[in-house]
Structure 1
Amino acid sequence: MDLYTKVDEKLKELGITFEIVEHEPALTTEQADSFIEGIEGVRTKTMFLTNKKKTAFYLLIMDDKKRLDMNQFKEIVGEKQVKMASSDSLFQKMMLPPGVVSPFGLQNNEDHDIKVYFDKEIMPEKRMSFHPNTNKKTIFIESPDLVKYLKAIGYEANIIQLNAPEDVD
């Protein structure tokens, strides 16, 4: 079974409605946005992060237009250093290639060792958009339903306040 089909089946099993837009492979958020222009829902970016020793993993979901202040995030999670996880770690933990990271990859995380964080700013949005384990589709799902999905697969949605990084002259 392909990874998208697992997502589709799980959402249907949970009674969660969603909208799928099929498109050519999207390699950047800008390209993905062009395929779904005019469709209601916040455009998200999902980052797969780790600590220096690769003993803790984080999935951070935020508005795709916002920049992450890595120093603030490491303080929130109580780490000395946080960085983008390698493509090897991404594949090992969620069976996903770079550019396809989303909360739906958590369904493939057998160790259940990834903590999920959402920027508080996007939570009031009615719908969010993601690649559902493939960059050839974009899924639109209502925000409360995404939280319901995460709980159903054994993950807590931690809501945090992220500030935009200070511009340095």
Structure 2
Amino acid sequence: MKKHFSEDERLADGSAPLEPSALLERLAELGIEAKTVEHAPVFTVEEAKALRGELEGAHIKNLFLRNKKGRMWLVTCLEDREVDLKALGELLEAGRFSFGSAERLMSYLGVRPGAVTPLAVVNDKGGAVTMVLDKAILDYPLVNAHPLVNHMTTALTPADLLKFLEDAGHSAQQLDMSAAARAEG
């Protein structure tokens, strides 16, 4: 079995991040039907759009954020959502947001930049990251997310995503992200 993470890529507790195959096994153990496709690695929404073909359902982007106090959030929203970080910080009563570093991302979620996904909360055993989910995602029949690496996409139902997040100890705070949308102008 191919390892996707090197020996020096470790979580804050010193353990190795979950491998994609183990994540997919966990989904199956939970009775979650998921369909996974492999593709060239993608790092941006634009690259994903160009490669996705006919994958149905919600396509998402994920923002790994922290505030001045060091608290962290993983915000999953529709891929085309323009997010005003100041407005989002106010909505979440978090203060000013900045993006978390690649090192922090690996330490807490066990993924690299470009592979950020709500499924990565499985690696946050200490509950340091707050999961926030755009309510609009729940209106789609399927949600497409990376299974911890950016060269695969896994589709699952919104109900199953919520079930997984709950099982991982990260029940999602559901938020109307249109309230945090960047103003046109």
TM-score (normalised: structure 1): 0.93
Give the superposition deviation at 1:167: 2.1
Matched, 1:133 2:148: yes
Contact 1:69 1:162 in 2 (8 A): no
- The corresponding residue for 2:12 is none
> Out of 76, 86, 104, which is 2:91 matched to?
76
Q: Deviations over 1:45-84 (max 9, x none)?
A: 0111111232x11010111111111122111221221111
Matches within 5 A, 1:150-169: 150-163=165-178, 164-168=181-185
Tell me the SS of whatever aligns to 1:83. Answer: strand
The residue type equivalent to 1:4 in the other structure is P
Q: Select between 8-17 and 120-129 the one with higher mean Cα deviation.
A: 120-129
Q: Deviations over 1:97-122 (max 9, x none)?
A: 10100011111112111111111222
How many corresponding residue pairs?
Answer: 167
- The corresponding residue for 1:113 is 128
Q: Deviations over 1:119-158 (max 9, x none)?
A: 1222111111111101110111110000000111111111
Give the superposition deviation at 1:19: 0.9
Structure with the higher strand share, 1 or 2:
1
The residue type equivalent to 2:27 in the other structure is L
- Structure 1: distance between partners of 2:155 and 2:59: 9
The residue type equivalent to 1:128 in the other structure is V
Q: CA RMSD in A?
A: 1.3
- Structure 2: distance between partners of 1:39 and 1:167: 29
Gapped runs of 5+ residues in structure 1? none
Contact 1:59 1:103 in 2 (8 A): yes
- Structure 1: distance between partners of 2:59 and 2:116: 13
> Out of 102, 108, 114, which is 1:87 matched to?
102
Give the superposition deviation at 1:28: 1.8
TM-score (normalised: structure 2): 0.85
Gapped runs of 5+ residues in structure 2? 5-18
Superposition misfits of 4+ residues, deviation over 2 angstroms: none
- Structure 2: distance between partners of 1:62 and 1:142: 15
Contact 2:43 2:113 in 1 (8 A): no
Tell me the SS of whatever aligns to 1:46. Answer: strand
The residue type equivalent to 2:26 in the other structure is K
Identity in percent:
27
